[in-house]
Amino acid sequence: MASSPATNTILTAAHWGPMLVDTDGENVLASRGALPGTFENSLQSVVREQVHSKTRVRYPMVRKGYLASPDAPQGVRGQDEFVRVSWEQALDLIHTQHQRIRATYGPASVFAGSYGWRSNGVLHKAATLLQRYMSLAGGYTGHLGDYSTGAAQAIMPYVVGSNEVYQQQTSWPLVLEHTDVVVLWSANPLNTLKIAWNASDEQGIVWFDRLRKSGKRLICIDPMRSETVDFFGDAMEWIAPHMGTDVALMLGIAHTLVEHGWHDSAFLQHCTTGYDEFARYLTGERDGVAKTAEWAAGICGVSADKIRELAQLFHENTTMLMTGWGMQRQQFGEQKHWMLVTLAAMLGQIGTPGGGFGLSYHFANGGNPTRRAAVLASMQGSVAGGVDAVDKIPVARIVEALENPGAPYQHNGMDRHFPDIRFIWWAGGANFTHHQDTNRLIRAWQKPELIVISECFWTAAARHADIVLPATTSFERNDLTMTGDYSNQHLVPMKRVVAPRDEARDDFEVFAELSERWEAGGRERFTEGKNDLQWLETFYQIAGQRGASQQVTLPPFREFWQANQLIEMPQSEQNARFVRFAAFRADPQANPLKTDSGKIEIYSRRIAGYGYADCPGHPTWLAPDEWHGNARADQLQLLSAHPAHRLHSQLNFTSLRERYAVAGCEPLTLHPDDARARDIADGDLVRVWNSRGQVLAGAVVSDGIRPGVICLHEGAWPDLDPQAGGICKNGAVNVLTKDLPSSRLGNGCAGNTALVRLEKYRGPSLTLTAFDPPASA
C-alpha cells in the first residue's frame, strides 16, 4: 500500500504576520499564524487559495489586437481577447517595443512608478526590481507620495518637520501608564492592525486589548461605528459627525478652549509659531465668523453641548488623540491633520508621556516599542551607473497625466508639467482597485502605446493590459522579512513552500533576463552576480553588522536558514519609555524640528506664499465639492473604509469573501432611516449610482452609521458588465468616487469625497465574473 506524502510545515510571512504553512511538497494544505498570544487573523488562513486559485495568471498572455500589430495596436484594452505566448515571445515583444518607445520619446515616456503594497520580503519587491531594470535601461518616470497618506505626508513636514504618518509613536507602556483619555479619530485599528508594510508583529491589538481593560475614558469619532467600537463595547463612546467635517468639529473644540482660557499659552509661545494668526481666524476677528461650538455643530452635526464637553474633558485630562488616515483621503485633506496637531498644541500636551497626538497607532502597530534589533538590508532601486527617475508625478494624478501630456500643474509649491507617458509597466500593484473614478481611468488607460502588467492573478489591471506576465506568489520563492515596521520585533525566514505554479516566474529572474537583452552583461549588472539565496545571505550579514551595535548576535546564515525558526529581538528598556517630541518640548532651541521656524507651525508663511485657495496658510474649514452640506434630498455621502477580511484588494477572490458578501456582492451599510425611505430591507440587492458610474451591493441595515452616510469598503475587484449599462457586479467603490486632488499642495487622493443615490435593485440577475480568468486564459 502506497504511503501518503509526508507533510512539512514551513515558516514564512506575509503582510499579515509570520505564518506556518503545511505542504506535501507540491500542494499547500493549510496555514495559520506562527505567533502565540495574538488575536485571530483571518487573512492568515488562505495561503492555499492564493497558490492554487483559479484566478492565477498561468502563462504569459498578449492581447490579441496588440499581438497582431504592436506598432499600431487594434482592439480595446479591457475588451479584447488574450493569446497565450511563450516567455521568449513575450520578452522579445516587450524588449522590442521598449527600445522603440524609449528611442522615440525618451526615458520620461516610460512610467515605472509601479505603485502598490510591496511584495512581502526584502528581495522580491516587484516595484523595486522593475525600477532597478528601468534604471539600467536609462531612467523612467516614477511617482511621488501614496494613496494612503498623500495629503498628510505633504502637510506634516511644514507643520512638525517630518511626514509623521510613518513615525514611531509614544510607547504603549507610557500610554497605559499616563493617558486618561484616548480618542480614536477616524481610526479602526481592529481592521487596519491586521497588516503591516513589512510583516505585522501582531502586537497592536494586544495593546488595544489592554487599553480596553484599563478603565480609561475612550472615545471614537467616526461617521460609522467600526469593528473597533464593537471590540471595546461599553468601554468606548461613539460620536458620529457628518462625514468630512472633522476640521469644523476640531475648530469648535478649539474655540471652546479659548473661550474658557483653557488653551496652553505657555506651550503655544514656547513650542509653536503662528498661533496668533490662526486665532484671528478662530475667533472670527478676520472673517466675522467665530468658530464657536454652535457654529461647528451646524456643520458637523455634533451638538454644541457635546463639543464643549469634549473641550473640557481634553483640557482636564492627559489626552492622546490617535487618528487614522481615512479623513485626510478627502478634498482638502491636508487641513485634517494640520488642525489635529493645532488642537493638540492648544491642549499643550505634545511631548508629554501619554499626551499629544499620534498618526500611526492604527497602522503596523505603532507604539509597540522598538527592539534592539539586527535589521535586514534590502534590494536597492538602481544599479551601479544606472539612471534613477528622470521625472515623478504625484501617484494619485496618473489619470490626469495620461489625459493631459505636457500640461502644467502645481505640486507642493512647485511648477511642474505632466510627462508624455507612452509605456506603462505596473508590477506588484492593483491600480484599478485603488484609483478613483474607475470609468475615467479605463478611458485614460487606452492612451499609452504599451501596457505591461506583472501579476499573480487576473486583476482588473491585468485584464486591461497588452502583455500580462505570470508572477510567483511569495510562497513560491525564497525571501526574508522583519515584523513590525516600527518595532523590528522579529527576523523571519520566508522559505519557498511550493514550486511555482504553471509558468509563473520570479520578477527578479524576469528583469535579470530583460537586462541582458538591453545590453551585454546586463544580467550581471542587475543581479551583481548573486542568486536569490546569495542576496538573502548578504542582507542577513548586513543585519548582523547592524545588530552588533545593539549587542545582538545572529547565528550563521546557513544555520538560521536551515533552522526554519524566526528570531525575536531583545526588548529595549529605553525604547519602552519613548515619548514622541519629548526632547523638542524640553528644549525647542537645542532640539528644533525640521520646520522653517524649528517649531510647530500653526501658521506657515511658506504655504501662505504659495497662494493656494485649496490650502491656505493655517488650518481652515473648507467645504468639499460633494458633502452633506450640498447634498440633495435623495443623495447620500459615500464612505470607503478599510475592509475587515482583506488588505485593500488582496484576497478578495478567496473564501474569506463568504464572511462578508451580502446578496453575492460587497456589503453596503446604511442607516434604518435611509433604508426605510427607499423601501430597502436588510439583505436586499441595491444599486448605487452617480454621474461617474453604478454598482451593485448587498444592504446591511444598521444603526451603526450616521444617517445620510453609507459605507462600501474599498478594495473590491471591479466587474463591469457592458451588457448591463456598465454596472459593477461586485460593488467596487471607486466606480463611484471622485478623482480630484486633495489640494495643489499634496495632490493626495480624495476617495472619501462622493455623493451617490441608492435604490433597491429590480433589474435582471447578473452573474459575478470578477474572479474568473478571461475565457482565452
Q: Cα 647 from chain centroid?
A: 9
Q: 347-386, pLDDT tens digit by residue?
A: 999 999 999 999 999 999 999 999 999 999 998 767 878 8
Instruction: Return the pLDDT at 274.
Output: 98
Q: Do the strands 181-185 and 319-323 form a parallel or antiparallel pair, or are they unpaired? A: parallel
Catalytic (active site) residue 16? no
Tell me the pTM: 0.97
Listed residue (139, 201, 159) closest to 14, CA to CA: 201
Chain position carrying cell 504618518: 165
360 in the Ramachandran plot: left (φ > 0), alpha (ψ -120 to 50) or beta? Answer: alpha
Instruction: Please identify which of the residues 16, 66, 117, 281 carries the catalytic annotation.
Output: 117
User: CB-based contacts of 712: which residues, under 8 Å, 6+ apart?
Assistant: 638, 639, 640, 666, 667, 668, 688, 695, 697, 731, 733, 736
- Asked if 105 is an active-site residue, the reply is no
Query: At a CB cut-off of 8 Å and minimum separation 6, what does 480 contact?
Result: 121, 122, 123, 376, 491, 492, 493, 494, 536, 539, 540
Catalytic residue among 115, 133, 426, 621: 115
Q: Which residues are annotated as a binding site?
A: 117, 329, 434, 477, 507, 734
CB atoms within 10 A of CB 95: 16
Q: Which domains does the chain have, with CATH numbers?
A: 1-145+381-475+497-528 (3.40.50.740), 150-368+578-605 (3.40.228.10), 628-760 (2.40.40.20)
| The three cell numbers locating residue 205 | 491589538
426 within 8 A of 461, measured Cβ to Cβ? yes
Mean pLDDT by groups of 10 residues along the chain of 777 residues: 75 98 97 96 97 97 97 94 98 98 98 85 95 96 95 98 97 98 97 96 98 98 97 98 98 98 98 98 97 98 98 98 97 98 98 98 97 94 84 96 98 98 95 96 98 97 98 97 98 98 98 96 96 97 96 98 97 98 98 98 98 98 97 97 95 97 97 98 98 98 98 98 96 98 97 97 96 92
Considering only the C-alpha atoms of the chain, give the largest distance between any 2 of them, rounded to a whole number of Å. 90
Of 236, 270, 249, 216, nearest to 586 by C-alpha is: 270
What's the confidence (pLDDT) of residue 1?
45
| Residues 204-218 pLDDT 10s | 999 999 999 999 999
- Give residue 695's identity as a one-letter amino acid code: V
Chain position carrying cell 542577513: 540
Taking CA 733 as the corner, what is the angle to CA 39 and CA 440, rounded to the nearest 5 degrees? Answer: 140
Handedness of CA 83, 87, 93, 97 (dihedral sign): positive
User: Which three cell numbers mark 448?
Assistant: 499609452
- pLDDT tens per residue across span 582-596: 999 999 999 999 999
Beta-sheet pairing, 709-712 with 667-670? antiparallel
